[in-house]
Amino acid sequence: MSTLFLSNDKVFYTLEGEGKYIGQPSVFMRMSMCNLTCQGFKSESSPYGCDSYVSWSVKNKLVFEEIAKLFEAERYDLKLRAGAILKYTGGEPLIQQKALLDFTRFITERWGFSPRIDFETNATLLPLPEWSEDYCATFTTSPKLSTNGDPEDKRYKPEVIEWHARNAYSDCGSTFKFVVKDEQDILEIYEKYLTPFKIEKRHVWIMPMCGSREEHIEIAPKVAELAKEHNFNFSPRLHLLLWDMALKV
């Protein structure tokens, strides 16, 4: 039977914490593995850089039946039926997208409905066409600026950015969210993303670079002022404000 590698979190129900769908009830399925390190995001509160590293760095190999039972044991399938978003996240979920596509077909047949799907992706891997054609999946992309610490040839894939820039105008759209700490990050967003790919600001959210509630409180007002100055959407990191570093517990 087909398998997937899930993180330590596996499956959990919460509110979306960032971007366009902030505050919306969501069932997260966190996948193992990532193709970036985000070492540049290190701070006292986030020593690994990536705020979910401690979870996705562990592999739990599960068959589809086991994963579906995780949903059903907590009645998450009913949350999805009622309209909650199924969030495929990571790490980088598109590393396993072929198996994820098979899993989506599996649960759709098992539960008798197609859940609303949104990917959280770093915009380095091109999505398969079936996600849009068969499921109208949306993509919350978080392209990494130079501050993330990875080499440009790993984190910056123009052909993938171009796909999401076009997809932003479709019914099953893509949105962009960037981790920001200062004006230099804003200039890079213009230079590397908005200008070359003609991305409209209504599709862009900026959010503070932080790994804890304390760091969020410190930097968020500055990032909010940058959003006001440049007419970007501002996103707090709601999960940090509500639950602080619960992921690390």
For 177-187, what is each residue's pLDDT tens digit? 999 999 999 99
User: Average model confidence (pLDDT) for the chain?
Assistant: 94
| Interior/surface letters 9-30, b for 16+ CB within 10 angstroms, e for the rest | bbbeebebbbbbbbeeebbbbb
The predicted pLDDT at position 248 comes to 41
Q: Helix (H) and strand (E) counts for the chain?
A: 11, 9
Give me the mean pLDDT over the 101-122 stretch.
98
pLDDT beyond 80 at 52: no
CA–CA gap between residue 7 and residue 29 (Å, rounded): 9
- Whether the model clears a pTM of 0.85, i.e. scores above it, the answer is yes
Closest by CA position to 42, among listed 149, 128, 177: 149
Which whole number is the average pLDDT over 158-167?
A: 98
d(CA 43, CA 179): 14
On the question of pLDDT at 41 being above 80, the answer is no
- The pLDDT, as a whole number, for residue 249 is 32
Binned at pLDDT 50, 70 and 90, residue 201 comes out as very high
Lowest average pLDDT, out of 33-37, 64-68, 86-90, goes to 33-37
Alpha helices in 112-211, H assignment, sequence order: 129-135, 152-155, 158-167, 183-189, 195-197
pLDDT at position 199 over 90:
yes
What DSSP character marks residue 3?
A: E
Phi, psi angles (nearest 5°) of residue 73:
-60, -35
Residue 180, helix vs strand vs coil? strand
* Residue 25 CB contacts under 8 Å (≥ 6 apart), including other chains: 13, 14, 15, 16, 79, 83, 84, 85
Inter-residue contact 144 to 176 (CB < 8 Å): no
Question: How far is it, in rounded angstroms, from Cα 125 to Cα 197?
Answer: 17
Helix (H) or strand (E) holding 90: none
- Which CATH number fits the domain 3-177, given the four candidates 3.20.20.70, 3.30.750.200, 1.10.10.60, 1.10.460.10? 3.20.20.70
What was the pLDDT predicted at 246? 62
